[in-house]
Amino acid sequence: MADDFEAMWGALAPVGRSAASGGYFRQPWAGAERELRAWFVEACEQRGLRVQGDGLGNLVGWWGEEHATRPDERLLTGSHLDSVLDGGAYDGPLGVVSALAAIDRMRERGVVPARPVGVSVFVEEEGSRFGLACLGSRLLTGATTWERARELRDRDGVALPDALEAAGLPGPQAGDPDLLAGVTTFVELHVEQGRALVDLGRAIGVASGIWPHGRYRFELSGTADHAGTTRMEDRADPMLTYATTALAADEEARRAGARATFGRVEVVPNGTNAVPSRVTAWLDARCESEGALAELVAGLERRARQRAEVDGTEVRVVAESVSGLVSFDPDLARRVAADHTGGDWPVLPTQAGHDAGILSGAGIPTVMLFVRNPTGVSHSPAEHAELPDCLAGVDALADTLERLCT
Amino acid sequence: MADDFEAMWGALAPVGRSAASGGYFRQPWAGAERELRAWFVEACEQRGLRVQGDGLGNLVGWWGEEHATRPDERLLTGSHLDSVLDGGAYDGPLGVVSALAAIDRMRERGVVPARPVGVSVFVEEEGSRFGLACLGSRLLTGATTWERARELRDRDGVALPDALEAAGLPGPQAGDPDLLAGVTTFVELHVEQGRALVDLGRAIGVASGIWPHGRYRFELSGTADHAGTTRMEDRADPMLTYATTALAADEEARRAGARATFGRVEVVPNGTNAVPSRVTAWLDARCESEGALAELVAGLERRARQRAEVDGTEVRVVAESVSGLVSFDPDLARRVAADHTGGDWPVLPTQAGHDAGILSGAGIPTVMLFVRNPTGVSHSPAEHAELPDCLAGVDALADTLERLCT
């Protein structure tokens, strides 16, 4: 049984991997990610799953439709295949591969599902290309409209419709199947992205919900100048405003038990001997409550403005995306966490956004399973899960799906 | 007479100008800069100047060789045509256009030079593409060897020999003319890049020398991580080390009456939801003395390492280029500054590197003329000089050259 998971995992390992860093570059609608989606379609077809796709590249492979006694209470499980820039192997693909392996396992056990079970792949979950996380599931649920999404551009200025066209996809079409039609439960298995399970000494956990989080673009502008001849006193250097704000983000997040990160920066003109005219920096902020998130971001904007007065620079803050608190269906989480061999799985919150949060927000009862990550490191080439834990994840997912579909 | 300067200036104005910012993108061996060098060759040919060029793209147009009584005491004047990214119109081209206009003026006055007078254009003065300022004059004087230069790569990873080939240039060749053979004086006219002349109420000044300055690459490395799930306490975020160092640079330079700028930053992976694994930042530092420069840079490295201990990050500092103090020939500066109508020109130091510094370092007696800049702003679309001051610059250069060549 282990062979199915390991064979699939081995097949994906080289796709989009950087020889230099060992990390993955699986940006949506480009080389490696297209290869992964083609692999997924083939894996579904080999299993006799009926594949549905939409004009964005979201995919579902359906099992058990022919004998289902409750065909309108569809059970969906899956995750995504894209990665952040230079990311890990597990974030996303672990949920997709485990879902296929779980179906293999149920079949071998002779399970006949009363509800059709689908394995889903949602596109651009990371937002690493178009800046809006969970873009595929957002468009599918209507959380984001196509009118807004079609204006998105990647770093190279390519508009989303053009990226889709280059990938041979038409974008959302009137004739697209509704991949979520009749779906009444969603289960997402994911590698844990922190160390809670390590601290608890457990391989598997169940998510209670997702912290509110958002991406905020800080546009800091000043005056380009010669780095040699312009006296320090005569400058309006937005780099100093940025540096102060980045340090404030760390301080304030520590104080609040929250997360605040400036991981992306763009400088204009970005020349060694020129004082910059503009620094654009993206804040990723996450807190336990929506009130705390708003307070954290407002505090950082205030700190930026205070420093800007000293620097003679200007500050503009744009919220690019803000996601409210997600509370997964508590009854479903309790049921999934209990009643199986090996004792209850622990139930814990996460700070990471997931397609599960979008589907939950659209009113679909949703649950997440986490697989232990020994270092807690994620979004990095060092992201890891031990094979026995991955196989325990497949077991846990198969058990969960079996209980939910029979 | 004004017409020659204005006509030439008007012809150059649109070349490489960004409609968005109004700034100039004249990077070496690419579109706009190649157009400017072609324009220069044509301008020389129209004036009957004999054009010499080398395999790098350095150019000189010679006037008065046929009647020169001191043919081995050549007088060179000129500057450069490349710009920083999104730079101004004046830094470089003002010296080249003024030199051609000064020759026109001397001819109209019937000057017959005893020494051949050359107008020079040195390539990649700004170092905006290959990171090493004054690359053309450095290679010409041997201050930098071709063995080192041929390894340089631009931001897109293009090696210098390939960039030259793409521009139709072979690189240094055994058969190249030595553009500096017999040159015993160099005069560079340049827009002032500070406000000293404004403060003095004078249109023209003479440079006494160039502050020591250098470019230092700070490589700060930590651990890529998920920006949401990784607790602040568990991170090794090089962005924080960088931010602290950038603020320290400003503080230390103010304290020392020096200049220290972080104007160029590259972040890996530069994703909104990833703690960076690496921040590379370039320090541009300039001080009155070589000792003060070394002390400033050592102090900033110390500040970076102190913070790195807190952040759990690593620091590596690489000096990419360091230029010692340049003292221009004091007798020549005195002679040029005195003895002309309108009273002595003020003599003042500059913080900006120039080809004049390289030629001076190679033992060629050198002098610089500055033209007033009303805002002091340079390396920016706002860089400016008023037309009457530019014409006063042409007059001053023509007077200076006439006195030096007769």
Concatenate the DSSP letters of all residues of A189-230 into one string: EEE-SSSHHHHHT-SEEEEEEE--EEEEEEEEE---EETTTS
B46 contacts: CB under 8 Å, gap ≥ 6: none
Does residue A373 have a known ligand-binding role? no
pLDDT of residue B339: 59
CB contact under 8 A, B273 and A253: no
Token pair listed for A199: 């601290």
Architecture of the domain delimited by B2-211+325-405 = 3-Layer(aba) Sandwich (3.40)
Half-sphere exposure of A122 (CA within 13 A, CB side): 29
On chain A, the residues whose CB falls within 8 A of the CB of B262 are 239
Amino acid at the residue B23 = G
Distance CA B73, CA B115 (A): 6
Share of chain B above pLDDT 90, in %: 89
Q: What Cα–Cα distance (Å) separates residue B82 from each residue in A45, A268, B179, B283?
A: 59, 18, 19, 22
- Using CB atoms within 10 Å of the CB of residue A363, give its burial: 0 to 12 exposed, 13 to 18 middle, 19+ buried: exposed
Q: Which residues of B338-350 are buried (b: 16+ CB within 10 A; e: fewer)?
A: eebeeeebbbbbb
Residue A262, H or E segment: strand A259-268
Distance CA A300, CA A43 (A): 47
Q: Given a cut of 90, is residue B309 above it in pLDDT? A: yes
Best interface-test mutation with B: which of A273, A287, A300, A326 has the largest number of B CBs within 10 A?
A: A273
- Using CB atoms within 10 Å of the CB of residue B140, give its burial: 0 to 12 exposed, 13 to 18 middle, 19+ buried: buried
CB contact under 8 A, B352 and A267: no
Question: Which residues of B are documented as binding site?
Answer: 80, 91, 126, 190, 215, 273, 286, 379
Best interface-test mutation with A: which of B264, B273, B278 has the largest number of A CBs within 10 A?
A: B273
Write out pLDDT tens, residues A228-275.
Answer: 989 999 999 999 999 999 999 999 999 999 999 999 999 999 999 899
Distance CA A2, CA A49 (A): 21
DSSP assignment of B97-108 equals HHHHHHHHHHHH
When the candidates are 3.30.70.360, 3.10.129.10, 3.30.1370.60, 3.40.710.10, the CATH number that belongs to A213-323 is: 3.30.70.360
Does residue A273 have a known ligand-binding role? yes
**Residue of higher predicted confidence among A321 and B29:** B29
**Residue of higher predicted confidence among B9 and A195:** B9
Q: Given a cut of 70, is residue B374 above it in pLDDT? A: yes
Does residue A254 have a known ligand-binding role? no
Nearest to A224 among B231, B253, B380 (CB): B380
Distance CA B345, CA B334 (A): 9
On chain B, the residues whose CB falls within 8 A of the CB of A229 are 192-194, 259, 350-352, 376, 378
Nearest to A263 among B244, B274, B378 (CB): B274
CB contact under 8 A, A240 and B226: no
Q: Given a cut of 70, is residue A180 above it in pLDDT? A: yes
Distance CA A86, CA B270 (A): 10
pLDDT of residue B161: 97
CB contact under 8 A, A264 and B272: yes
CB contact under 8 A, B227 and A259: yes
Does residue A379 have a known ligand-binding role? yes
Best interface-test mutation with A: which of B239, B242, B321, B368 has the largest number of A CBs within 10 A?
A: B239
Q: Are A223 and A207 in contact (CB under 8 A)?
A: no
CB contact under 8 A, A228 and B193: yes
pLDDT of residue B273: 87
If you ran DSSP here, which 8-state letter would residue B78 be given?
A: E
Query: What's the whole-number mean pLDDT along residues B230-237?
Result: 94
Distance CA B55, CA B32 (A): 19
Write out pLDDT tens, residues B320-343.
Answer: 989 899 999 999 999 999 856 667
If you ran DSSP here, which 8-state letter would residue B153 be given?
A: B
If you ran DSSP here, which 8-state letter would residue B217 be given?
A: E
CB contact under 8 A, A229 and B376: yes
Q: Are B247 and B304 in contact (CB under 8 A)?
A: no
Integer distance in angstroms from the first to the last C-alpha of chain A? 21
Q: Are B402 and B227 in contact (CB under 8 A)?
A: no
Q: Are B274 and B223 in contact (CB under 8 A)?
A: no
A140 contacts: CB under 8 Å, gap ≥ 6: A54, A56, A58, A122, A179, A180
Strand partners, A347: A206
- Using CB atoms within 10 Å of the CB of residue B145, give its burial: 0 to 12 exposed, 13 to 18 middle, 19+ buried: exposed
Tell me if the bond preceding B269 is cis, omega within 30° of 0.
yes
CB contact under 8 A, B230 and A268: no
CB contact under 8 A, B263 and A275: yes
Does residue A286 have a known ligand-binding role? yes
CB contact under 8 A, A228 and B211: yes
CA-nearest residue of chain B to A255? B232
What is the ipTM score, two decimals? Answer: 0.80
Q: Given a cut of 60, is residue B2 above it in pLDDT? A: no
B103 vs chain A: nearest CA distance in angstroms? 30
Rg of the Cα trace of chain A? 22
Nearest to B264 among A86, A261, A267 (CB): A267
Q: Are B77 and B118 in contact (CB under 8 A)?
A: yes
CA-nearest residue of chain A to B227? A261
Residue B44, H or E segment: helix B31-46
Write out pLDDT tens, residues B156-205.
Answer: 999 999 999 999 999 999 889 999 999 999 999 999 998 899 999 999 99
Q: Report the helix count and the strand count for chain A, using DSSP H and E.
A: 12, 17
CA-nearest residue of chain B to A222? B380
Nearest to B269 among A86, A229, A231 (CB): A86
pLDDT of residue B166: 95
State the average pLDDT for chain B.
95
Token pair listed for B155: 């931001």
Distance CA B188, CA B207 (A): 10
DSSP assignment of B292-342 equals HHHHHHHHHHHHHHHHHHHHT-EEEEEEEEEE--EE--HHHHHHHHSSSTT
Write out pLDDT tens, residues A282-337.
Answer: 999 999 999 999 999 999 999 999 999 999 999 999 999 898 999 999 999 999 99
Q: Given a cut of 60, is residue B57 above it in pLDDT? A: yes
Q: Report the helix count and the strand count for chain B, using DSSP H and E.
A: 12, 17
On chain A, the residues whose CB falls within 8 A of the CB of B239 are 246, 261-263, 265
A69 vs chain B: nearest CA distance in angstroms? 40
Best interface-test mutation with A: which of B135, B229, B321, B368 has the largest number of A CBs within 10 A?
A: B229
User: CA nearest A202: which of A388, A327, A354?
Assistant: A388
Query: What's the whole-number mean pLDDT along residues B81-105?
Result: 96
Alpha helices in A2-78 (DSSP H): 2-12, 31-46
pLDDT of residue B1: 43
CB contact under 8 A, B229 and A350: yes
pLDDT of residue A2: 45
User: CA nearest B143: which of B405, B361, B381, B378?
Assistant: B361
Does residue A226 have a known ligand-binding role? no
pLDDT of residue B371: 97
Q: Compute the count of residue pairs across chains A and B with CB atoms less than 8 Å apart.
A: 262
The domain segmentation of chain B, as residue ranges, is 2-211+325-405, 213-323
Strand partners, B63: B117
Write out pLDDT tens, residues A356-372.
Answer: 999 999 999 999 999 99
Strand partners, A204: A371
How sure is the predictor about A1, in pLDDT bands with cuts at 50, 70 and 90? very low
pLDDT of residue A194: 87
Q: How many CB atoms lie within 10 A of CB A198?
A: 15
On chain B, the residues whose CB falls within 8 A of the CB of A350 are 228-229
Nearest to B84 among A229, A273, A380 (CB): A273
A276 vs chain B: nearest CA distance in angstroms? 6
Distance CA A45, CA A67 (A): 18
Token pair listed for A253: 């997040």
Please write down the HEC assignment for all residues of A308-321: HHHHCCEEEEEEEE
CB contact under 8 A, B274 and A87: yes
B27 vs chain A: nearest CA distance in angstroms? 12
Write out pLDDT tens, residues B110-146.
Answer: 999 999 999 999 999 999 999 899 999 999 999 999 9
User: CA angle A283-A218-B250, nearest 5°?
Assistant: 100
Distance CA A138, CA A122 (A): 9
- Using CB atoms within 10 Å of the CB of residue A284, give its burial: 0 to 12 exposed, 13 to 18 middle, 19+ buried: buried
